[in-house]
Structure 1
Amino acid sequence: MFERMILMIFSFLGILNGAFLSVIFRRKRFYFYMAGSWLISFLSAGYFLWYARGYDGLGLWSLYLGYLACGLMVAEIIALPCLFFLSFLSIPKRLLTAVRRLSLFALLFAAGIGVYGAVDGNTSGQVEHLDVYVENLPPAFEGYKAAQMTDTHIGPYFRYTDLPGEIDRARQEGAQVLFFTGDLIDDVRHMPEAADTLSAKYADFPDGIYYVWGNHEYYRGKDYIEEELLKTPVKILVNEHGAIERDGASLYVAGVDYPWSRGKAMEIEMDSMADEAFRGIPEGAPVVFLAHHSAFLDEGFRKGAAITLTGHTHGTQFGLFGRPIITPFTYTRGLYSDGRNVGYVSRGNASWFPFRFSCEREMVILTFHRK
């Protein structure tokens, strides 16, 4: 179903872009433009889907073809509004030559942005350091370091062999605990290897690894993923909490499941999940709240969590000057505050679609301080 939808969407985009080009270049045989543009779009989407299924055992050439395919898919999206606008500008004959040149430039620009973003988005990233100031933080936790990982989407662009190195980055930064906020894997054929890595790396973190469910676990087979994770020492939090102990003092870690309701029902569902996760935590105790969906930041503010850590949005993977342009999310990327407590939406350690522009992948390192 998903694959058919992707092919249909990009086939339609290709036909539309071809139609606009035929208007701009005044070609009576417009169907050649439409067919050519459709073919590029269809083949790009087709390769993207094929590669996701069969990347195992293929050479490096297949990965770079994957980048090209993803880049051309993005180019189709970028080109659409440009060509739509230029098709109207082409109506006056005096503007026709200039508009045709602009159209060619727009196509080259879109393709360049697409391919660059696909390669760079999957090969570069940064470590984001956050200082978290917490009321009632026990002295034993002053300077305590934690790491957040999220949205690795293990598969063709972030492989299970990449997971050990990414976790090692967290430990090298001095993190004593790892918080994983969902969407670990898409290609569940490699779930045993991913689970083995988590088991092997667990001992690197004195206070272990905490995990909450994302939406992709449900898409890819949550029962099987859970079965493999239960073979590891990873602490899965499903509307419950745990505690990190230091010198008789506690830093609580609460975690919630992924909400599937919509509208007002989603608010009620999230309220219920948060209430259950926080039940039993002493009033005023410092809490790290883990969730996949960024809408849980409001729940973290309501509950007085010292910091709420989420992912899910990937920061939209596209923006300008480090900010998203269009977003369907209230909380999209970076740090937010209600004036007292904070929440953070990670851009993710990877993604299932490699394109990124002005939205690098990130490893989040938190350092806790007494307020």
Structure 2
Amino acid sequence: MLVLHGYLWFRLVRATTVAGRARRRLTVLTVVLAVLPAAAVAGRRVLPWSAQVPLDWVAYSWLGLAFYAFLALLALEPVRWLLNRRRQETPAGPGAAQAPPDPSRRLFLARSLALTAGAVAIGTAGTGAMLANSAPVVRRVPIAIAGLDPALEGYRIVTFSDGHLSTTYGGSRFERLVETVNAQRPDAVAIVGDLVDGELHELREDVAPLADLVSGQGAYFVTGNHEYFVDTEAWLRHLPTLGVDVLRNERVPLGRGGATFDLAGIDDRTAARSGVPGHGANLDAALDGRDDSVPLVLLAHQPVQVEQARAAGVDLQLSGHTHGGQLWPFDYAIRLDQPAVEGLSRHGDTQLYVTAGAGYWGPPMRVGARPEVTVIELTRG
């Protein structure tokens, strides 16, 4: 926050104003804006929900806007340097000595570049806000599974992740998400973690639409890292009352026409250090005693858990966590921690599908990564 807002102040305030009242007021505004995101995080512990809602909207919206203003100003630094250099090298006239820098020209350049960066940031953040709150796209992904029984051809697992129900996401938008899932006529629904960013008493009404899920063979959930930021056990007790079964290092047989495959689910990789007793990813426990000839689909919140899946002979892992990057260019940073950002990839004999998520975290924006619901259609390999 200090680096981000310090740079913004230097380019948007100090460079575009002269010493005086306007600069002082804009400096105070910059300090306030810099404090807002930290205040939003700290407020969760002390503020009532009704006060936290507007604070989060303002703080996180500003954070997204500030981030893209920062990027735009960085991109304009070479332009600033070239124009300043050209001005310095331009002779004042035939035989004349080099003229001293003109403060008015420098101020004009600084303001012009600030306005350009501001327009780019507002356009990008505004588009991102619109996309984040738009209906999720539906991606249909056929995935070939070796040894799949012909009776399971076309079996539909409809999956989504990262709902992040919170002060800024829920209500009618989550109802729309559930309706989108139901419209795909799922044989099974897989919710791959990070469903909530708040306590049960705060989000009970927002999560209620899960009870309206319509699925031939049920809905299943595994924890993400954000489930461990709140009262985990309260949520894991509540979800089954909505018809959502929680898979904690366990598996269930699914199928049709007498043919089956195993659907397994494990805790998030952060669960072991969360402090919640008994939690921690344990794929061995989930697969203990299974018939290796039966196809196996694994639900694991983080794509990096595919390394365990590959070693265990999992056919397909479904994950989320990355949000598809959410705010470009964060997808490049995600690659430093995860083996895939979104889409289908292969890791040895294990296939991995990473959904870009349905909601968002932090800034209520998505740039380069639309919200999605994915229809996994199993086919014979």
State TM-score, norm by structure 2.
0.78
Aligned residues: 348
Q: Residues 45 and 70 of structure 1 are in contact (CA less than 8 Å); yes or no, is this contact kept in structure 2?
A: no
In the other structure, the counterpart of 1:86 is: 77
In the other structure, the counterpart of 2:193 is: 182
> Partners of 1:107 and 1:164 in 2: how far apart?
35
> Partners of 2:263 and 2:315 in 1: how far apart?
10
> Partners of 2:308 and 2:208 in 1: how far apart?
33
| Residue 11 of structure 2, aligned match among 7, 17, 20 | 20
- Paired residue type of 1:111: I
Identity %: 23
Is the partner of 1:309 in helix, strand or coil? strand
Cα distance, 1:25–1:167 mapped onto 2, change above 3 Å: closer
Matches within 5 A, 1:101-120: 101-120=112-131
- Which residues of structure 1 form unaligned runs of 5+? 1-8, 263-268
> Partners of 1:47 and 1:215 in 2: how far apart?
20
Q: Residues 253 and 290 of structure 1 are in contact (CA less than 8 Å); yes or no, is this contact kept in structure 2?
A: yes
In the other structure, the counterpart of 2:216 is: 206
In the other structure, the counterpart of 1:247 is: 257
Q: Residues 72 and 121 of structure 2 are in contact (CA less than 8 Å); yes or no, is this contact kept in structure 1?
A: no
Q: Residues 127 and 365 of structure 1 are in contact (CA less than 8 Å); yes or no, is this contact kept in structure 2?
A: yes
| Residue 28 of structure 2, aligned match among 35, 39, 54 | 35
Query: What CA deviation, in whole Å up to 9, does each residue of 1:106-130 have, x standing for no partner?
Result: 1221122123212321224201110
In the other structure, the counterpart of 1:304 is: 313
Matches within 5 A, 1:5-16: 9=1, 13-16=4-7
Cα distance, 1:124–1:57 mapped onto 2, change above 3 Å: farther
- The 10-residue stretch of structure 1 (185-194 or 166-175) with the greater mean CA deviation from structure 2: 185-194
In the other structure, the counterpart of 1:338 is: 347
- RMSD, aligned α-carbons: 3.6
Cα distance, 1:132–1:334 mapped onto 2, change above 3 Å: same
> Partners of 2:255 and 2:13 in 1: how far apart?
68
Cα distance, 1:198–1:28 mapped onto 2, change above 3 Å: closer
> Partners of 1:238 and 1:221 in 2: how far apart?
16
> Partners of 2:258 and 2:169 in 1: how far apart?
40
State TM-score, norm by structure 1.
0.80
Query: What CA deviation, in whole Å up to 9, does each residue of 1:50-72 have, x standing for no partner?
Result: 799767699xxx88x97665443
* Alpha-carbon distance, 1:344 to partner: 1.0
> Partners of 1:170 and 1:21 in 2: how far apart?
45
> Partners of 2:207 and 2:371 in 1: how far apart?
22
> Partners of 1:240 and 1:44 in 2: how far apart?
38
Q: Residues 51 and 156 of structure 1 are in contact (CA less than 8 Å); yes or no, is this contact kept in structure 2?
A: no
Query: What CA deviation, in whole Å up to 9, does each residue of 1:297-322 have, x standing for no partner?
Result: 222222232210111111120237xx
> Partners of 1:44 and 1:57 in 2: how far apart?
14
* Alpha-carbon distance, 1:169 to partner: 1.5
- Which residues of structure 2 form unaligned runs of 5+? 89-105, 273-278
In the other structure, the counterpart of 2:292 is: 283
* Alpha-carbon distance, 1:240 to partner: 1.2
In the other structure, the counterpart of 2:244 is: 234
Alignment partner of 1:74 is 2:67? no
Cα distance, 1:260–1:94 mapped onto 2, change above 3 Å: same
